Amino acid sequence: MPLKDYVCDTLKTLKTIDPEIHAFLPEPEREQRLMRDADRLMAQYPDPDSRPPLYGILLGVKDLYNVDGLPTQAGSQLPPAAFSGNEATIVSRLKQAGAIVLGKTITTEFAYFSPGLTTNPANPEHTPGGSSSGSAASVASHICHLSLGTQTIASVIRPAAYCGIYGFKPSLGRIPLDGVFPFSHTMDQAGFFTSRLEDLYFASPHIVENWVEHFEPVEIKPIVPAQAFLNQADADSRGAFQQFLEQLGNSGISIQESSLFANPEAINLIHKRLIAAEFARHHQDLYAMYGELYSPHSRDLYTEGIQIADAELESLQHHPSRARDELQRIMRSAGANLILSPGATSAAPRGLKSTGSPLMSLPFTHAGLPSLAIPWGVNAAGLPLSIQIMADWGKDEFLLKAASQIYKLLQESL
C-alpha cells in the first residue's frame, strides 16, 4: 500500500476508534503533520530498495518521551515548558529507521497510579493497565503496529497482559532514556508493544542497543518462582499459568520449581521506598512550583519519598544489583536460563480509577531482567490473560529466541 494511503487509513481508524479508547493525546494538526512527514520520507527514499527497515511504520510514543514538535506533559496538568528538552534518543533512532510518530499516547500522571482516560480495547469498562496505558491500547486496538512505553514497576508487562498483546521490557540499560522524563533513575526502563511476536522480533534490533541476532535454536530450561510469589495472582491467572506449564511439559520441556521470592513482601517494600525517594528528588523543584496541580496519588508518593533520608536511599540503591546477583545464583544452581510466571495478578480489573496490581512484575523489574508478556487465553468474561517470561540480565536476544521456540512448540501441540 502506498505510504500516504496507509497514513490516511490509519487516521480513519484513529478517528473511528480513539473516541472510545482514548489511547492518544489530542493533536489538532495531526493530519497535516503526518502528511508532511510522509512526503518528506517519500522524497528522501524514492527507491523502494533503498528504504530503511521501518519505512513508514506509524509509532505511538508515551507522553514521557520528548518528541520534536510535540509537547510533553507526562500525563499531568503541568505546563509543557516544565518538561522541555531534546528529543529522546530512541525516538530519533526510530525516525532514522523510517518510523513516523503517529502521536503521543496517554500515560498515568508521571507514570504512577493516577490514570488518564484510556480504556481497554478488550472491554472499555476495564482498565488497560498502566502506566503505559495509551501505548498498549493503541496497539491492541490496531491503530498502530508499534508503540513505546516505560516500566518502573510493571508499566509495560501489565498493560500488555491486560490488553492481550506482546510487551517487551529489555534489560535495564539496553534502551537509552535520555529525553524521557524520569520517575526513578535507578529503576526506570524502556519497552515497547506489538500485536504479534514476529513484529516484536523485527523491531528489537532498531530499539535495543547492540542487538546481536540469536539465530541458532536454544535449549529451554525454565524455573518458576516460589508458591508464595505465585499466590499473589488470582485463581484465573494461576489456572492459565498452570495450563501453560502443562502444555510446555507435554512438549518435552522440563520445568523446575524454585525458591525465588519466597518472601515477596520484602522486595515489594524495598522497591516502593526506592522509587518513592527518587521520585521525590526528581520532583522537588517542580513540586515547589506546581504542587497544587499534582494528583492525590502523586502528592502522597512525593510526601512519602521526601521523608526518606539520603542514607537510606543510598542503601536502597544498592539493592537491585544484589537482587540480580541472587537471581543469577539461583538460576545457575538450577541450571536454568528462563523464569516463568503469570503476566499479571489478574485479568484487567473493572473500572478506570485503578490500573491494577503491579506485583507480578515488580521483582524482575527490580533486578533489571529482560521481560516479555505473551497473550495466553482469556478468562470467563473474555478478558485477556498472559504469561511473563524472563531471562538473565543482558540475555534479551536469547529471551526472544526462546519465546519464539516456545510459541512454535505450543502451536504444534494444539
Q: What is the DSSP string of 89-147?
A: HHHHHHHHTT-EEEEEEP--GGGSS---S--BTTBTTB---SSSHHHHHHHHTTS-SEE
Percentage above 70 pLDDT, the chain: 100
Cis peptide before 341 (omega within 30 of 0): no
Beta strands 338-342 and 256-257, pairing class: unpaired
Average pLDDT over residues 196-216: 95
Q: With the CA atoms of 227, 231, 235 and 241 taken in that order, what torsion angle do they form, in degrees rounded to the nearest 10?
A: -50
Q: Is 405 exposed, middle or buried (0-12, 13-18, 19+ CB in 10 A)?
A: middle
CA 73 → CA 85, 180, 191, 331, 386, distances in Å? 12, 11, 19, 41, 31
Cβ proximity of 230 and 238 under 8 Å: yes
Q: Is the pTM of this model over 0.75?
A: yes
Cβ proximity of 172 and 189 under 8 Å: yes
Return the DSSP state at 351: B
What's the gap between Cα 176 and its chain centre?
A: 14
Average pLDDT over residues 103-111: 98
Q: How confident is the model at residue 412 (pLDDT cuts 50, 70, 90)?
A: confident
Residues 6 or more apart whose CB falls under 8 angstroms from that of 256 comprise 222, 223, 224, 334, 336
The cell numbers describing 141, all together, are 486496538
Cβ proximity of 264 and 233 under 8 Å: no
Q: How confident is the model at residue 414 (pLDDT cuts 50, 70, 90)?
A: low
The cell numbers describing 181, all together, are 522524563
Give phi and psi for 59, each to the nearest 5: -115, 130
Give the model confidence (pLDDT) of 316-364 as tens digits. 999 999 999 999 999 999 999 999 999 999 999 999 999 999 999 999 9
CATH fold of the domain at 3-206: Amidase signature (AS) enzymes (3.90.1300)
How far apart are the C-alpha atoms of 17 and 22, rounded to whole Å?
Answer: 8
The cell numbers describing 47, all together, are 527507491
Average pLDDT over residues 22-37: 98
- Output the average pLDDT for the chain: 97
How far apart are the C-alpha atoms of 69 and 93, rounded to whole Å?
Answer: 16
Average pLDDT over residues 40-47: 97
Question: What is the structure's pLDDT at 64?
Answer: 98
CA 86 → CA 72, 140, 178, distances in Å? 11, 29, 8
The DSSP result for 182-249, as a single string, is: -S-TTT-EEEEEESSHHHHHHHGGGTSTT-----S-----EEE--HHHHTTS-HHHHHHHHHHHHHHH
Order of strands, edge to edge, in the sheet holding 222-224? 100-105, 58-62, 146-151, 189-194, 166-169, 371-378, 384-390, 338-342, 222-224, 256-257
Catalytic residue IDs: 62, 131, 155
Q: How confident is the model at residue 217 (pLDDT cuts 50, 70, 90)?
A: very high
Question: What is the structure's pLDDT at 1?
Answer: 85
Give the model confidence (pLDDT) of 66-97 as tens digits. 999 999 999 999 999 999 999 999 999 999 99
Average pLDDT over residues 240-258: 97
Percentage above 90 pLDDT, the chain: 98
The DSSP result for 235-246, as a single string, is: HHHHHHHHHHHH
Give the model confidence (pLDDT) of 281-293 as tens digits. 999 999 999 999 9
> Nearest CA to 168 among 139, 138, 190?
190
Average pLDDT over residues 254-273: 97
Domain ranges of the chain: 3-206, 222-260+331-371+388-413, 264-313
Average pLDDT over residues 114-125: 98
Cβ proximity of 397 and 212 under 8 Å: yes
